[in-house]
Amino acid sequence: MRPLFWIVVIVASAIAGATVWSQVPQSSAAEPYAAPRTADGRPDLNGIWQAINTANFDIQAHAARPAMAIVPASPRTDTPGLVRATHVDLPAPSVRPLGAVGGVPAGAGVVEGNEIPYQPWALVKRKENADNWVERDPEIKCFMPGVPRATYMPYPFQILQGTNKILMAYEFAGATRTIHMDTVGDSPASTWMGWSRGRWEGDTLVVDVTDFNEETWFDRAGNFHSEALHVVERYTPVSPHHLMYEVTIEDPKVFTRPWKMRMPLYRRFDADAQIREYKCVEFVEQLMYGHLGVVDPATGTINK
C-alpha cells in the first residue's frame, strides 16, 4: 500500500506540475486561462507577486561574472617575457570584500530578441554607466526604482485592486504606484515611478505609463532611458499562480525603435506573506552623507 501510495502521489504531482507548467508560456493558447473575478466582475489580480530571474542584474542575456563592478587585472610587467596575453576581470576594490555574494549569476535575459536598439550615442552612455555602476546606479542610493525595474527587482510587490484605483505596492524603497482606472488629469510633474493609467483588455491589465524623469535605470548593467520614456505594461493571468508580464519600451530620444520585455511573475505562497517595510533611506545615509558632516558617525573622525 505505502509504496503504491507514494507512486500515485508522485505521478499525480508530476501531472499537476506539468499541467501548470504547460500553461505558463502559453498566454495565447487555444483555451486561455480564465482568471477568477473580483466582486465587481474584474479579473482578480490581487496578491503578492515576484519575478524570479536575473533581469535586475542585466535585462539582456549575460554570462556569470565576478561582480557588477569590474577592474582588469594589472599587466604582469615585473618579470620580463611574462606579460599576460589575455584580459582578466577582477571585482573592483569597492565590492571585493563581498566575495561570491557580490557575484552576478548568468541569465537568459528578458528582452525580446535580446537586442536593445540604442542610438549610437546612447550605447556609449550605457557603457559609461556600467563602468561607473557603483557611483551611478540609483538602486545603490535607495532611490525609487522606476518602471518596469520595480517589477523585477528581487523583492515582492502587492497588487491591491480598489474600486477606481489599483495600487502596486513595492517592497523596495516603499515605492507605490497608483494605477488610475478612472479618468484623471495629466501629471503636474515628471516622476520617478511614472503616471499610470490603466484599462482592462479581456483578462489583461494594460497600464500606460508616462511622465518619467530621466533618473531611473532598467537594471544594474547601466541600461537607461530619457524623460521621453513611455512604458506600456500588460499583466495577464496565465494560471492561478502566475501573471505574464509584458512591457513595451518607447523612448525616441534614446532608442531607434520600441522594444519589449517579457517574463512570468510568481505568486508568493509563503505563510504570512506580506509586503514588509524596506525603508532603505536610513541604510544609505552613511554612504551618501557620512563624509559630509563635522563628524563621521561610522568612524567618529572629525572631517576637516
Partner 1 sequence: MKSHSIVLMGAIAIAGAVAMPACYGSPSTNAPSPASGRTAWGDPDLQGVWRYEGAIPLERPAQLEGRATLTAEEVAARERVEKEQAAKRLEGLEGAAVGRRSIAESPIRGNEYNSFWQDHGRPRQVSNRTSLVVDPADGQIPFTTDAQKAEARSAARYGVGPFESYLDPDTGERCLTDGVTGMMWQGPNGGHNRIVQSPGYVTILHEEYRDRRIIPIVSSDINSGELAARQHGAIRQWFGDSIGRWEGDALVVDTVNFLDRTNYEWANIWTRPSESLHLVERFTRVDATTIEYTVTVEDPTTFTRPWTAVIPITKLPDDIQIYEYACHEGNYAMPNLLRGGRTEAARTSSR
Q: Does 215 bind partner 1 (CB under 8 A)?
A: yes
CA distance 113 to 211: 27
Contacts of residue 47, defined as CB under 8 A and 6 or more positions apart, other chains included, come to 158, 159, 267, 268
Residues of this chain, 125-144, that bind partner 1 according to CB under 8 A: 142-144
Query: CA gyration radius for the chain?
Result: 23
CA distance 130 to 118: 15
Q: Which is nearer to partner 1, 66 or 145 (CB)?
A: 145
Residues of this chain, 180-199, that bind partner 1 according to CB under 8 A: 182, 184-185, 187-189, 191-193
Min dist CB 41 to partner 1, Å, is 8
The binding track of 257-286 with respect to partner 1, each residue x by CB under 8 A or -, is -----------------xxxx-x-xx--xx
CA–CA distances in Å: residue 104 to residues 56, 137, 139, 220, 292:
10, 15, 16, 10, 32
CA distance 149 to 175: 12
Q: Does 200 bind partner 1 (CB under 8 A)?
A: no
Sign of CA dihedral 80, 81, 84, 85: positive
Q: Does 175 bind partner 1 (CB under 8 A)?
A: yes
Phi, psi of 39 (to 5 degrees): -60, -30
Task: Report the residue from 72, 162, 202, 252 that binds partner 1 according to the rule CB under 8 A.
Answer: 162
Q: Does 164 bind partner 1 (CB under 8 A)?
A: yes
CA distance 57 to 54: 6
Give the closest residue to 152 by CA, choosing from 96, 91, 223, 215.
Answer: 223
Q: Which is nearer to partner 1, 92 or 160 (CB)?
A: 160
At 233, list the grid cell.
Answer: 505594461
Task: Report the residue from 174, 214, 228, 260 that binds partner 1 according to the rule CB under 8 A.
Answer: 174
3-state SS assignment for residue 121: helix
Task: Report the residue from 20, 26, 46, 65 that binds partner 1 according to the rule CB under 8 A.
Answer: 46
At 121, list the grid cell.
Answer: 550615442
Q: Does 59 bind partner 1 (CB under 8 A)?
A: no
Residues of this chain, 3-42, that bind partner 1 according to CB under 8 A: 38-40
Task: Report the residue from 169, 206, 228, 232 that binds partner 1 according to the rule CB under 8 A.
Answer: 169
Q: Which is nearer to partner 1, 70 or 167 (CB)?
A: 167
Q: Which residues bind partner 1 (CB under 8 A)?
A: 38-40, 46, 142-144, 158, 160-165, 167, 169, 174-176, 178, 182, 184-185, 187-189, 191-193, 215, 274-277, 279, 281-282, 285-286, 288-290, 292-297, 303
